[in-house]
């Protein structure tokens, strides 16, 4: 099965998926790899495997802890199955889907392609799961971390999702 999808493929993919009853979404960044590492090897499938391996080996997770990974070029990687609890926000994993941006947003300026995929993925999940933009959280809302990076503001992202909900409902009908 294809593991790295375009936005259009992602929309088709999530329509047919069986989800757990999620109470929200938590956003992360990889920190490492950052944009400079990705630029040296702009291969999404490769980095998806690296994250999976690191989570398995170093953290002893049963594979990648995030459900989705959004790459700097806007492509979307499929991580853990959405019917399964992830491993990304200690103490709250049973409640939240995990979405991770590749990059370090304490220093990287998010590329437009990645930003479009960010609101696209979050809005489509909000619509698909019947959530509200207020149910989108940052990792740092739950733990002593700066994840997903100081440059990202939660309200800005919730607003971007809010602006696209009606449009997304139309896209998802098609």
3-class DSSP state for residue 46? Answer: helix
Is residue 164 close enough to count as binding Zn ion by CB under 5 A?
no
User: Using CB under 5 A, which of the segments 7-15, 36-44, 136-144, 157-165 binds Zn ion?
Assistant: 136-144
Closer to Zn ion by Cβ: residue 99 or 160: 99
Is residue 139 close enough to count as binding Zn ion by CB under 5 A?
yes
3-class DSSP state for residue 54? Answer: helix
Is residue 28 close enough to count as binding Zn ion by CB under 5 A?
yes
Q: What angle do CA 37, 39, 45 make, to 5 degrees?
A: 80
Task: Kindly state the number of chain residues that form the binding site for Zn ion, as judged by CB under 5 A.
Answer: 3
Is residue 92 close enough to count as binding Zn ion by CB under 5 A?
no
Can you tell me which residue has the tokens 């790459």?
71
3-class DSSP state for residue 70? Answer: strand
User: Using CB under 5 A, which of the segments 12-20, 74-82, 126-134, 144-152 binds Zn ion?
Assistant: 144-152
d(Cα 128, Cα 125) in Å, to the nearest integer? 5
Closer to Zn ion by Cβ: residue 14 or 147: 147
d(Cα 140, Cα 163) in Å, to the nearest integer? 24
Q: Give least dist CB 149 to Zn ion, A.
A: 9
User: Using CB under 5 A, which of the segments 4-12, 27-35, 49-57, 78-86 binds Zn ion?
Assistant: 27-35
71, 38 Cβ separation under 8 angstroms: yes
Binding region for Zn ion (CB under 5 A): 28, 139, 147
């Amino acid at each position: 099965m294809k593991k790295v999808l375009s936005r259009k493929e992602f929309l088709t993919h999530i329509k047919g998926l069986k989800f757990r009853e999620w109470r929200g979404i938590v956003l992360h960044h990889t920190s490492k790899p950052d944009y400079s590492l990705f630029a040296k090897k702009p291969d999404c499938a490769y980095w998806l495997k690296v994250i999976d391996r690191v989570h398995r080996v170093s953290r002893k997770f049963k594979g990648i802890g995030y459900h989705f990974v959004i790459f700097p070029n806007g492509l979307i990687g499929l991580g853990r199955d959405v019917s399964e609890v992830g491993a990304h926000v200690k103490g709250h994993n049973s409640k939240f889907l995990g979405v991770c941006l590749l990059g370090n947003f304490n220093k990287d300026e998010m590329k437009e392609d990645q930003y479009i995929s960010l609101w696209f993925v979050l809005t489509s999940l909000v619509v698909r799961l019947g959530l509200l933009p207020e149910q989108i959280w940052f990792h740092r809302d739950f733990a002593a971390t700066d994840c997903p990076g100081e440059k990202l503001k939660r309200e800005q992202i919730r607003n971007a999702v809010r602006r696209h909900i009606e449009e997304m409902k139309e896209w998802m009908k098609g």
